[in-house]
């Protein structure tokens, strides 16, 4: 099956390449181009404007992402390890308004570390995988009791892999 897909893909690529080849080969002829020459300036301006708009939108929407945050700040480190079928979270009490870096791993199989606010809305989640430490950064803005639920089916008692984080 996969080799058919490969052959079909290659054939289609050859067709596309042939079309490009034909277009490039015929683009030197000026006769068809002459009647629309007056839109060229407008089109170039539109293109440059769209490039600038794209850069502004990309930079503007990427800037608030957390990836630029340095590790050498005053973040509280919380380690969380999932194992069948409980969490080991330390410390379980964290301050409100300070960035928390969760370092999440798994002991046996894959688990999902999901944190819910007191109203039951999920705030963030990451995988708890054996052999890997995934990091999530979060700043709690309200005190309360937050729930930790396993987000990945990990066996018989998956549904009971519930713990809590106290934000004070």
Contact residues for ligand CUA (CB under 6 A)?
82, 85, 111, 150, 152-154, 158, 161
Within 8 A by CB and 6+ apart from 36, the residues are none
Q: If 0-12 CB within 10 Å is exposed, 13-18 middle and 19+ buried, where does residue 149 land? A: buried
Pick 132 or 153: Cβ nearer ligand CUA: 153
Q: Which is nearer to ligand CUA, 103 or 158 (CB)?
A: 158
Distance in Å, CB of 103 to ligand CUA, minimum: 17
DSSP β-ladder status, 93-94 and 122-128: unpaired
* Shortest Cβ 153–ligand CUA spacing (Å): 6
- Report residue 59 CA to chain centroid gap: 16
Residue closer to ligand CUA by CB (options 82, 116) is 82
């Amino acid at each position: 099956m996969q080799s058919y897909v490969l052959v079909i893909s290659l054939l289609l690529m050859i067709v596309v390449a042939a079309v490009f080849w034909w277009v490039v080969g015929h683009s030197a002829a000026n006769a068809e181009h002459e009647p629309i020459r007056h839109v060229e300036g407008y089109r170039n301006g539109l293109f440059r404007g769209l490039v600038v708009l794209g850069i502004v939108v990309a930079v503007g929407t990427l800037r608030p992402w957390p990836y630029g945050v340095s590790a050498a700040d005053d973040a509280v480190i919380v380690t969380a390890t999932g194992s069948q079928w409980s969490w080991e979270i330390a410390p379980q009490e964290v301050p409100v308004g300070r960035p928390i870096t969760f370092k999440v791993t798994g002991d046996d199989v894959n688990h999902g570390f999901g944190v819910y606010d007191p109203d039951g809305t999920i705030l963030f989640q990451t995988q708890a995988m054996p052999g890997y430490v995934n990091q999530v950064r979060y700043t709690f803005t309200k005190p309360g009791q937050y729930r930790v639920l396993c987000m990945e089916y990990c066996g018989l008692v998956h549904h009971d892999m519930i713990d809590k984080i106290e934000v004070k």
